[in-house]
Amino acid sequence: MICYVLSDTTLEKCLKTVERNRQWIDACELRIDFLDEENRQNASTFPDMVDIPVILTHRRKQDGGQYTGSEKQRRAELLNALEGNFAYVDLEEDIKKNELDIKARERGIKIIRSYHNFECVPDDIYAKVYQLKKRGDVAKVAVTPKSIQDVITLFNAESELSGIDKIIIGMGEFGTPTRILYRRTGSILTFCSENETAPGHISARKLKELYHADEINDRTAIYGIIGNPVYHSASPQIHNPAFRAIKFNAVYVPFLVDSVRHFFSLAEIMKMRGFSVTIPHKIEVLSYLGDITREVKQIGSCNTVVRKPGLWKGSNTDYYGFLNPIENDIEEGRIRSALVIGAGGASQAIIWALRNRNVKVTILNRTLEKAQTIAKNNMCKADTLDNANKYSGKVDLIVQTTSVGLGNDTSPIPDFEFTGKEVCYDIIYKPKMTKFLKDAQAKGCKLHFGDEMLFEQGKLQFEAFTGYHYPKQIHPEI
């Protein structure tokens, strides 16, 4: 089930929220700790207002809720609410068996015993699930993974705790995959909301329409994107609708990754079929690949990994994705020289692509030594960002490959004097119009945007993942 967490202050507003999201959800959780006092007293009437199962929850502040009153009053309000036709009631682990359990049993309401940890994933998490299940119908643990290794622990719950009705939730950024792939943790449901009532909540619409989270089964092929950061990525919008269009049982999920080594362990556990690689892992993944394409050998970085019998194979679609929008300008001689800003994994693919088209390249980077190493391997020049203005009016193309401008209004070359004749290309796609591109546009430069490159390289990744051409009828919103 996809379960919506209702955090409105009145029952009327809660009802409207359910109606607004009804097409995407299978259940809802009425958080009466958010309700005002009058509506809290009438909470028992809510289940009869909707046509889906309702979970009753009255969460204390210490467990991530809003309630700050006395425990005696909270229990009294829960008892009063249990007069309603709720499907479940959520009771925290430290509440001893009392009148709440008895009344829930009398009313045929199933008990969810829950444990919350906003600091970490405890070492004894599996034991906690067993203990919680002994005291209820469903065991729920909402914990906070701090690494991809913690995420492995949560996904192992399906095999370690088989046969137990449970809800396993990873809160925060590392936990996002557990919310989408909740069925792969063995969970009976996943929670969602529009206003992130709990850390890491995803909207109901996105869970249903983009990820089809409730339809994922043992035969669903798992793909993804790894990076740090990663949740700005529009790649799920490229791949998931295309999977759907060709009726391919697969899902593409973002993974925040702090350790490439541990991610490959997770990929084996989940039997992943392939994944995209973004900053800062495009070089580090090379150590874990059993086969690489010619482009990866030449470029020295990888953005696409596909499972082959007995090994992982790496390729690089950044090369082709970058070139596609400017191919005509190169072929017709309008681009013969370029400045490439940055010396990371993406820049290496771009530099190699340009050099293969006989474009003269100068790499500008904050650290000169790193740029010089790449320049030596690609027979081009290197310089520091401080000297950017030296090249004003002397190059046809300027490519911005760093993360500068991602989430802020800054440029890696803030004082550069554009002449208006340059073609300017920023591989960042959120925001579409970065400070670098704004400065270039103000001088009349021709612009190319990161979403162009993203879509072109994404189509090639899709073909590598599935063996099918990207469906022409799909035009993703990036």
Q: What residues are annotated to the active site?
A: 282
**Burial tier of 384 (Cβ tally within 10 Å: 0-12, 13-18, 19+):** middle
Whole-angstrom Cα distance, residue 349 to residue 30? 50
**Burial tier of 6 (Cβ tally within 10 Å: 0-12, 13-18, 19+):** buried
Q: What is the 3-state secondary structure (H, E, C) of the chain?
A: CEEEEECCCCHHHHHHHHHHHHHHCCEEEEECCCCCHHHHHCHHHHHHHCCCCEEEECCEHHHCCCECCCHHHHHHHHHHHCCCCCCEEEEECCCCCCHHHHHHHHCCCEEEEEEECCCCCCCCHHHHHHHHHHCCCEEEEEECCCCHHHHHHHHCHHHHCCCCCEEEEECCCCCHHHHHCHHHHCECCEEECCCCCCCCCCCHHHHHHHCCHHHCCCCCEEEEEEECCCCCCCHHHHHHHHHHHCCCCEEEEEEECCCHHHHHHHHHHCCCCEEEECCCCCCHHHHHCCEECHHHHHHCCCCEEEEECCEEEEECCHHHHHHHHHHHHHHCCCCCEEEEECCCHHHHHHHHHHHHCCCEEEEEECCHHHHHHHHHHHCCEEEEHHHHHHHCCCCCEEEECCCCCCCCCCCCCCCCCCCCCCEEEECCCCCCCCHHHHHHHHCCCEEECHHHHHHHHHHHHHHHHHCCCCCCCCCCCC
φ/ψ of residue 196, rounded to 5: 50, 60
